[in-house]
Structure 1
């Protein structure tokens, strides 16, 4: 166990050294490639403005997403009424919709536990 800890420490030290040596060049390259996304001037106030714009834009999109959700639910209701005409494609769509609902439920549970999988919070 002690030898594995020493190996891990050595790998961490190597990674830190590599980051210290090449980190500045990587940062400059990354910023150069993505300069079209940088707002001028890059200040705290500008970041706060962008954060507020993102929040309220997402809030404004809720009615449209809600409407799309209810259209999908209505479509599924129609499929259920006409289930004798159900084909493989429509069954697959219904299964994917159910899987998506389950995935959102699981994501909500993880978020509710503070982004932990097991519920153990450090």
Structure 2
């Protein structure tokens, strides 16, 4: 265990040295590459204005999202009514999607608990 800790410590030092040497250059390169997205002048007032614009734009997009949701729900109802036309491939895709959603919820629950597992310990 102590050997692994020492190995982890040396890796952390290597990463820290790399970031301290190359972090500034990476930051400048990133800003230069994305300068078309930077609003000038970068003031607190401008940030607050953009924040409000984002909030109200998202709020205005809710009716369109609701409409899309109801269209998707109607499509699912249509598939449910016409189960006889359902192919094995479509059923497999739906099953894989359901399995993936279940897995994401389980992983999200584990992350939400701080990467701890609950249950009986042997």
**Is TM (by shorter chain) over 0.5?**
yes
Structure 2 unpaired stretches of 5+:
117-122
Alignment TM-score, normalising by the size of structure 1: 0.71
C-alpha displacement at 1:89, in angstroms?
A: 6.7
Change beyond 3 A, Cα 1:67–1:92: farther
Give the corresponding residue for 1:39. 39
Q: 1:121 to 1:56 in 2, by over 3 A?
A: farther
Q: How far apart in 1 are the matches of 2:70 and 2:20?
A: 52
TM-score (norm 2): 0.71
Match runs of 1:1-122 below 5 Å: 1-87=1-87, 91=91, 95=94, 99=98, 102=101, 106=105, 110=108, 117=111, 119-120=113-114
Count the aligned residue pairs. Answer: 113
When the two chains are superposed, the root-mean-square deviation of aligned CA atoms in Å is: 3.1
Describe the shift of the 1:92–1:59 C-alpha distance in structure 2 as closer, same or farther (beyond 3 A): farther
Answer 1 or 2: higher relative contact order, Cα 8 Å, separation at least 6.
1
Q: Distance in 1 between matches of 2:56 and 2:42?
A: 21
Once structures 1 and 2 are overlaid, which stretch shifts more, 48-57 or 65-74?
48-57
Instruction: Return the alpha-carbon distance in structure 1 between the equivalents of residues 7 and 41 of structure 2.
Output: 45
Task: Mark the CA change 1:57 to 1:88 in structure 2 (over 3 Å): closer, same or farther.
Answer: farther
Q: 1:13 to 1:38 in 2, by over 3 A?
A: same
